[in-house]
Amino acid sequence: MVYTLTCNPAIDYTVFPASPLCMGQTNRTQGETVCFGGKGLNVSTICTALHIPSTALGFIAGFTGQEIARLARQQQVNTDFICLQEGFSRINIKIKDKEETELNGQGPHADPAAKAALFTRLDRVKGGDILVLSGSVLPGLGADFYAQIMRRMQGKHILFTVDAAGDLLRSTLPYKPFLIKPNKQELSDLFGAPAPDEETLFKQALTLQKWGARNVLVSLGAEGAAFLSETGDFLRMPAVKGEVRNTVGAGDSMIAGFLAGILRTGDYTEAFKLGIAAGSATAFSPGLADEQTILKILNQLG
């Protein structure tokens, strides 16, 4: 079973301006979409599309939280959310102009009772299950919240997957996560310098392993992806050719594809390919990819 945790899910309100955006003026749209957002929720959605059992955990609040739950059910995603009594789940505004602009909400506050309720749910996760910890955390949970979870669940043989940035990611490394997935910018921020070539990329991934990560999957956008396995294999794949329509959720889809590949085959190379296929399929789709698109790209990879 793949469990995902999205501490701060959102309603993503995407607008398509009818003309170039002008700040300080009234702008009109030629279309808009509403969907749920949140890195863990995206992983659960792709897992569900690939017929991998998954349960999405997280916190929701207010009318927007109820809409997130409804939209998830509509996508047949199994959820076990904690409903906060105050505030409302955030709304993220995404403006699809010549350059994509985002304005992300803050989200509600999580109190100690909500934190305890989440820990009760996490106690049901069994050895051999995968727990995906991804995205930002709510105010009140602490900057090392993912490390708190991993420390609490030590010894249960959970396969932790962490997709977070900066100190939130760094604090989890002593607990030896099964997989981490920094993107190019997050990797650069961790080391204070970009990886201009493959050798530097390999050295940075190797350093992350020395810090505790078992497997390192790096999404590189238009440059493809790289993967360093715990067995020492370093795999590099260029970006799949196609028309990029949407980058939101592509990295989450890559994680879901990779985990689905591991669960199906136990082979890191095959998992890497399925991760690339799933991430690319979402990038080429208006929203999160469907199974048919993912498998079509997977077949192209050979």
CA atoms within 13 A on the CB side of 96: 17
Domains belonging to the chain, first-starting first, are: 39-58+108-301 (3.40.1190.20)
Residue 252 among the catalytic residues? yes
Task: Specify the pLDDT at position 195.
Answer: 85
Give residue 140's pLDDT.
85
**pLDDT tens by residue, 11-26:** 999 999 999 999 999 9
Give the active site residue among 111, 252, 267, 290: 252
Long-range CB pairs of 148-156 (<8 Å, 24+ gap) are: 149/5, 149/119, 149/122, 150/175, 150/177, 151/175, 152/119, 152/122, 153/122, 153/125, 156/125, 156/126, 156/127
Q: What is the pLDDT of residue 254?
A: 97
- Report pLDDT for 18: 95
Q: Strands, DSSP E only, in 220-278?
A: 225-228, 234-237
Ordered mean pLDDT values, 10 residues apiece, the chain (302 residues): 96 93 94 92 97 97 97 95 95 88 91 94 95 92 94 95 94 97 92 87 95 96 93 94 87 97 97 97 93 95 82
Predicted TM-score (pTM) of the model is 0.93
* pLDDT at res. 149: 97
